[in-house]
Amino acid sequence: MTSASSVSFFVDSARETLRARGPDAVSWLNGLVSADLRGVAPGRGAYALLLTKTGKIRTDMDVLATRDGLLIGVARGTGEAVREVLDAHLVMEDVELERAPDVAWLRLSGEGAARLSLALSEQALAHGAIDWLGTGSGAALSVEERALGAALARLAELDPGAVALDPEGWRLLRLRHGFPEFGVDYGTDDNPHEAALDRRAVSWDKGCYLGQEVVCMQDLRGKVKRRLAVLEIAGADLPAPDSPVAVAGHDESVGAIRSAAVRGVAPGAATTVLAFARLKAPYFDPHVDGGAPTRFSVQGRAARIVTLPLP
Q: Which residues contact 64 (CB under 8 A, 6 or more apart)?
A: 40, 45, 70, 71, 72, 73, 126, 127, 128, 140, 142
pLDDT at 266: 67
Decide: helix, strand or coil at residue 305: strand
Q: Please give the backbone phi and psi of residue 168, each rounded to the nearest 5 degrees, phi first.
A: -65, -40
Cis peptide before 309 (omega within 30 of 0): yes
pLDDT at 207: 87
Cis peptide before 282 (omega within 30 of 0): yes
| Model pTM score | 0.94
Give Cα separations from 298 to 36, 104, 197, 270 (angstroms). 39, 37, 24, 17
pLDDT at 289: 61
Structural domains of the chain, with CATH: 8-177 (3.30.1360.120), 225-305 (2.40.30.110)
Q: Which residues contact 17 (CB under 8 A, 6 or more apart)?
A: 71, 72, 73, 74, 79, 99, 100, 101, 103, 105, 142
Would you give per-residue pLDDT tens digits along the chain (311 residues)?
Answer: 444 578 999 999 999 999 999 999 999 999 999 999 999 999 999 999 999 999 999 999 999 999 999 999 999 999 999 999 999 999 999 999 999 999 999 999 999 999 999 999 999 999 999 999 999 999 999 999 999 999 999 999 999 999 999 999 999 999 999 999 999 999 999 999 999 999 999 999 998 999 999 999 999 998 899 999 999 999 999 999 999 999 999 999 999 999 999 997 767 778 999 999 999 999 998 876 666 789 999 999 999 999 999 98
Q: Is 81 exposed, middle or buried (0-12, 13-18, 19+ CB in 10 A)?
A: middle
pLDDT at 290: 63
Sheet bearing 96-99, strands edge to edge: 46-51, 57-66, 69-75, 15-21, 96-99
pLDDT at 72: 98
User: Degrees (nearest 5) of the Cα angle 269, 108, 84?
Assistant: 120
pLDDT at 309: 93
pLDDT at 4: 56
